[in-house]
Structure 1
Amino acid sequence: MSVLLFSYSICQSQEYSLKFLASGSDINPDIDRIVIPLGNPGKPVNVASDFTVEFWMKAKSGDNNANGCNPNEWYFGNVIIDRDVFGDGDYGDYGIVLCNRRIVVGVQRSNLAHGGVVGNTIVDDAQWHHIAVTRQASSGGVWLYVDGILDASSNSSASSGNISYRNGRTTIYPDDPTLVFGAEKHDYPGSLYYKGMLDEFRISNNIRYTSNFTPPNQPLITDANTMALYHFNEGSGTILTDVSGASGGPSHGTIQYGGNPLGPVWSYDSPFHPVLEVTNTADSGPGSLRQVIADAPTGSTIVFSPSLQNPDIDLASPIVINKSLTIKDLNTQSIRVKTGSTGPVFRIENTALLVVLSSFEIRSGNGLNARCIDNQGNLRLENMLIEDMSPGTGSCILNTGHLDILGGVIID
Structure 2
Amino acid sequence: MRYAGTPLTITALLLLLLGCAERASAQTSLRFYGNGTGDIDRVKIRIDDPSNAQPGPPADVGATDFTIELWLRGRLADNSAGAISCGSNINWINGNIVLDRDRYNQGRKYGLSLGAGRLAFGVTDLSQSSRTLCSSASVLDDRWHHVALQRRRADGQMWLYVDGKLEAQSAGPPGDISYPDDGTPGNYCGGPCTGSDPFLVIGAEKHDAGSAYPSFSGFVDELRISTMLRYSGASYVVPSAPFVSDANTAALYHFDEGQGDVIGDSSGAAGGPSDGVRRFGGTPAGPLWSSETPFSAPAADGAIDGPAPSRDGGARDAATDAVTDAAR
What is the TM-score of this pair, normalised by structure 2? 0.80
Between the aligned partners of 1:304 and 1:62, the Cα distance in structure 2 is 14
* Cα 1:133–1:169 shift into 2, 3 Å: same
* Cα 1:219–1:94 shift into 2, 3 Å: same
1:131-170 mapped onto 2 (5 Å cutoff): 131-156=147-172, 159-170=173-184
1:5-84 mapped onto 2 (5 Å cutoff): 14-25=26-37, 29-40=38-49, 41=54, 42-48=56-62, 49-71=64-86, 72=89, 73-84=91-102
> Quick one: which amino acid aligns to residue 47 of structure 1?
V
* Cα 1:182–1:52 shift into 2, 3 Å: same
| Aligned-pair CA distance for 1:331 | 5.6
Between the aligned partners of 1:43 and 1:70, the Cα distance in structure 2 is 33
Matching residue of 2:252: 229
Between the aligned partners of 1:116 and 1:303, the Cα distance in structure 2 is 29
Between the aligned partners of 1:55 and 1:68, the Cα distance in structure 2 is 22
Query: Are 1:334 and 2:320 counterparts?
Result: yes
If you compute each CA radius of gyration, which structure gives the higher value, 1 or 2? 1
Between the aligned partners of 1:132 and 1:304, the Cα distance in structure 2 is 24
Runs of 4+ in 1 over 2 A off after TM superposition: 9-13, 302-310, 330-336
Matching residue of 2:326: none
Larger helix share, 1 or 2: 2
- For the residue of structure 2 that corresponds to 1:169, the secondary structure is coil
Structure 2, gaps ≥5 residues long: 1-17, 186-191, 324-328
Q: Deviations over 1:368-387 (max 9, x none)?
A: xxxxxxxxxxxxxxxxxxxx
Number of aligned residue pairs: 283
1:286-305 mapped onto 2 (5 Å cutoff): 295=301, 305=306
Contact kept? 1:275, 1:303, Cα under 8 Å: no
Contact kept? 1:228, 1:244, Cα under 8 Å: yes
Q: Deviations over 1:281-331 (max 9, x none)?
A: xxxxxxxxxxx6xx46xxxxx999532559xxxxxxxxxxxxxxxxxxx96
Q: Deviations over 1:196-219 (max 9, x none)?
A: 000000000000001211111111
> Quick one: which amino acid aligns to residue 145 of structure 1?
Y
1:375-386 mapped onto 2 (5 Å cutoff): none
Q: Deviations over 1:110-157 (max 9, x none)?
A: 15211231110110000000000111111211111101111111113x
- For the residue of structure 2 that corresponds to 1:152, the secondary structure is strand
1:123-272 mapped onto 2 (5 Å cutoff): 123-156=139-172, 159-171=173-185, 172-174=192-194, 175-190=196-211, 191-211=213-233, 212-272=235-295
Q: Which has the higher contact order (CA 8 A, sep 6+)?
A: 2
* Cα 1:106–1:304 shift into 2, 3 Å: closer
| Aligned-pair CA distance for 1:168 | 2.4
| Aligned-pair CA distance for 1:61 | 2.2
What is the TM-score of this pair, normalised by structure 1? 0.64
> Quick one: which amino acid aligns to residue 207 of structure 1?
L
| Aligned-pair CA distance for 1:275 | 2.6
Contact kept? 2:95, 2:114, Cα under 8 Å: yes
Aligned-residue identity in percent: 38
Contact kept? 2:95, 2:214, Cα under 8 Å: yes
> Quick one: which amino acid aligns to residue 32 of structure 2?
F
| Aligned-pair CA distance for 1:261 | 2.0
Matching residue of 1:341: none
Between the aligned partners of 1:233 and 1:123, the Cα distance in structure 2 is 23
Matching residue of 2:10: none
Contact kept? 2:31, 2:305, Cα under 8 Å: no
Structure 1, gaps ≥5 residues long: 1-8, 277-291, 297-301, 311-329, 337-358, 360-412
Matching residue of 2:6: none
Matching residue of 2:13: none
Query: Are 1:103 and 2:137 counterparts?
Result: no
Between the aligned partners of 1:333 and 1:183, the Cα distance in structure 2 is 31
Between the aligned partners of 1:186 and 1:308, the Cα distance in structure 2 is 25
